[in-house]
Chain A
Amino acid sequence: TQLLEQSPQFLSIQEGENLTVYCNSSSVFSSLQWYRQEPGEGPVLLVTVVTGGEVKKLKRLTFQFGDARKDSSLHITAAQPGDTGLYLCAGRTFDAGGTSYGKLTFGQGTILTVHP
């Protein structure tokens, strides 16, 4: 069973601070995704990282995929109240044939609260 350990579980910070959320596993993933979920809605995809060592930036958000494709991080610079929400990492694994499809294994999530 592939597991994704996400930390921290809760994060409460002031506007303008920086933060990092981590996602770790002992398993190799073909790709890692980060989602954001608002109350009463489904998760919305933020980014997909595919190549080991890959770094992607989305405005103030920076996503990194570990070299061994077992871990990932999400860094937010100068957090704003609008960043408040549940952040989820999710990995795609390889099937018996060595390919991957959209079945996702999710981390437990990080509830981020940014205070004005």
Chain B
Amino acid sequence: GAGVSQSPSNKVTEKGKDVELRCDPISGHTALYWYRQSLGQGLEFLIYFQGNSAPDKSGLPSDRFSAERTGGSVSTLTIQRTQQEDSAVYLCASSLFRDSYEQYFGPGTRLTVT
């Protein structure tokens, strides 16, 4: 595809369940970022991947959050034992290189925890 894609677009889950969010970056982009956007906190950085490595995980809010990237491409963000405060839009972005200014965002996954 031409842009960053994310799935699912919407996810409703019960408190305590685990969820997986997927990001397909633009082909050939080496850097991948996850952000979270919520009404109270705005847009916050979660984790950065360079290739399959995550040199910066400083934004992950708790150990219930984890992410991986495989084949230098697809990334999955996993939230275990979801809580209501996890409700937000999770955005993925990719860029060609680590220091590229152009960062392309996907449409996001809206997560609602009931």
State the total of A-B contacts with C-beta under 8 angstroms.
59
Q: With A40-B107, A107-B42 known to touch, is A101 a contact of B48 (CB < 8 Å)?
A: yes
Question: For residue B31, which residue of chain A has the nearest CB?
Answer: A102
Number of interface residues, chain B, beta carbon within 8 A = 24
Per-residue CB contact flags for chain A residues 1-12 toward chain B (1 = under 8 Å, else 0) read 000000000000
- Closest CB-CB distance, A69 to chain B, in whole Å? 15
B12 is an interface residue with CB less than 8 A from chain A: no
Most chain B CB within a 10 A radius of its CB, from A45, A90, A100, A103: A103
Identify B99's interface contact among A33, A90, A100, A104, CB under 8 A: A100
Report the bound CA distance from A30 to B103 in whole Å.
16
Inter-chain contacts of A103 with B (CB < 8 A): 33, 45, 48, 56
Q: B43's contact among A40, A48, A106, by CB below 8 Å, is which?
A: A106
User: Using Cβ atoms and an 8 Å threshold, which residues of chain B touch A105?
Assistant: 45
**Residues in A whose Cβ lies below 8 Å from that of B95:** 102
Q: Which of B31-74 contact A (CB under 8 A)?
A: 31, 33, 35, 42-45, 48, 56
Main SS class of interface, A: strand
Please give, as numbers and ranges, the residues of chain A lying within 8 Å of B43 by CB-CB distance.
43, 88, 90, 104, 106, 109
> Could you give, for residues 76-111 of chain B, a 1 whenever the CB lies within 8 Å of some chain A CB and a 0 otherwise?
000000000000000101010011111111111000
- Given A42-B91, A88-B43, are A102 and B105 neighbors across the interface (CB < 8 Å)? no
Contact A99 B108 (CB under 8 A): no
Closest partner residue, chain A, to B94 (CB atom): A102
Top 4 A-B pairs, shortest CB-CB distance = A42-B105, A106-B43, A108-B42, A48-B101
Using a CB–CB cutoff of 8 Å, the interface residues on chain A facing chain B are 31, 33, 40-45, 48, 88, 90, 99-109
| Contacts A101-B99, A102-B103 known; 20 new A-B pairs at CB < 8 A | A40-B108, A42-B104, A42-B105, A42-B106, A43-B43, A43-B105, A45-B102, A45-B103, A101-B31, A102-B95, A102-B98, A102-B99, A102-B100, A102-B101, A103-B45, A104-B35, A104-B103, A106-B44, A107-B42, A108-B42
